[in-house]
């Protein structure tokens, strides 16, 4: 036995398989000199692949293969192989029924998967539609409640004050137009001179220059109100609240001033202890328990 063959045995069947992709059983048969499991051409082909991958000389093994597969022996083996194939062909049952059965099973599985996916999509679509409808119904309910009930209550409570301030709005001498809201310090000085009842009647309103969404969050119970309007929105100063507008193209009306705002960005306001002031988004979130809305 050559040294190269011994070298291959030390390398091992698994490593030879990884580099040559020859089946483990064939490698084992070649290393042990058992050529009964393949023909002459196949055996010599395997030997050539191994020699190329591992740079070894397997000439002795090659000669053994040639001797084993003499011309007569090769013919006998070929004849036996042919007879075996013919026998298998004669005993082989028709495969059509089996193929047909497989096709039927595959078809049924495809129909089932399609139906399942269709049902899943339908359920998901229905769920999405229901969520959208629920959301819209809640929005409509909020708008209706705000516009019909709450607004009527505010108008009823502040009717006299609104009429009074409407007269003020008609007179330019009673208003001072400026670009900022009344400073909180000045507002507090004014409020110190007011009675509790007068504080409740303080008048604020948001007058949109174009259609705008307005959201209100009352800080005593965090109940939300919202509406989309082109009309002025009166604010009930008797309750602490947060106000957010969809854009800044608005005018803020107060007891003693008018503030024109021109901005495409959202605007945030706070009414606290009867005082209205503009705040930024982060202050709004801090008052609203960390939420944007």
Query: According to the model, what pLDDT value does residue 263 have?
Result: 93
Over residues 150-196, the pLDDT tens digits come to 556 654 665 566 466 555 544 444 434 444 454 555 555 545 555 55
Q: Read out DSSP for 241-264?
A: EEEEESSS-EEEE-SS-EEEE--S
Give the neighbor-by-neighbor strand order of the sheet with 233-236: 177-178, 258-261, 250-253, 203-208, 233-236
Mean pLDDT of the chain: 75
Q: 15-19, 75-79, 212-216: lowest mean pLDDT where?
A: 75-79
149 to 141, 152, 221, 225: CA distances (angstroms): 11, 5, 18, 11
Query: According to the model, what pLDDT value does residue 138 have?
Result: 58
The predicted model gives 198-202 an average pLDDT of 55
Does residue 280 surpass a pLDDT of 70? yes
Q: How far apart are CA 124 and CA 245, in angstroms?
A: 34
Over residues 95-141, the pLDDT tens digits come to 555 566 667 767 666 655 555 555 455 444 444 555 654 565 555 45
Token pair listed for 61? 């093994």
Query: According to the model, what pLDDT value does residue 169 have?
Result: 46
The predicted model gives 241-256 an average pLDDT of 91
* Beta carbons of 198 and 169 less than 8 angstroms apart: no
**Between 74 and 80, whose confidence is greater?**
80
Does residue 209 surpass a pLDDT of 90? yes
Query: According to the model, what pLDDT value does residue 276 have?
Result: 93
Could you tell me where the beta strands, DSSP code E, fall in the chain?
177-178, 203-208, 212-218, 224-229, 233-236, 241-245, 250-253, 258-261, 267-272, 275-279
Does residue 215 surpass a pLDDT of 90? yes
């Amino acid at each position: 036995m050559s040294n190269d063959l011994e070298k291959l045995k030390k390398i091992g069947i698994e490593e030879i398989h990884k580099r040559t992709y020859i089946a483990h059983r064939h490698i084992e048969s070649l290393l042990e000199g058992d050529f009964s499991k393949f023909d002459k051409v196949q055996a010599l082909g395997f030997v050539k692949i191994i020699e190329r991958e591992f740079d070894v000389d397997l000439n002795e093994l090659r000669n053994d293969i040639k001797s084993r597969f003499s011309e007569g022996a090769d013919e006998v083996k070929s004849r036996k192989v042919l007879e075996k194939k013919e026998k298998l062909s004669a005993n082989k049952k028709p495969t059509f029924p089996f193929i047909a059965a497989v096709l039927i099973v595959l078809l049924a599985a495809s129909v089932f998967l399609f139906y399942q996916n269709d049902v899943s999509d339908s359920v998901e679509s229905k769920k999405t539609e229901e969520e959208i409808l629920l959301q819209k119904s809640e929005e409509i309910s909020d708008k209706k409640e705000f516009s019909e009930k709450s607004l009527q209550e505010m108008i009823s409570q502040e009717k006299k004050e609104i009429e009074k301030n409407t007269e003020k709005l008609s007179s330019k001498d009673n208003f001072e137009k400026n670009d900022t809201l009344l400073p909180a310090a000045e507002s507090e000085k004014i409020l110190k001179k007011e009675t509790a009842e007068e504080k409740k009647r303080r008048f604020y309103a948001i007058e949109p220059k174009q259609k705008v969404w307005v959201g209100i969050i009352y800080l005593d119970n965090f109940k939300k109100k919202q509406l989309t309007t082109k009309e002025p929105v009166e604010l009930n100063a008797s309750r602490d609240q947060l106000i957010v507008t969809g854009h800044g193209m608005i005018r803020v009306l107060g007891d003693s001033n008018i503030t024109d705002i021109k901005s495409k960005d959202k605007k945030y306001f706070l009414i606290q202890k009867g005082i209205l002031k503009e705040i930024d988004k982060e202050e709004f979130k801090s008052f609203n328990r960390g939420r944007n809305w």
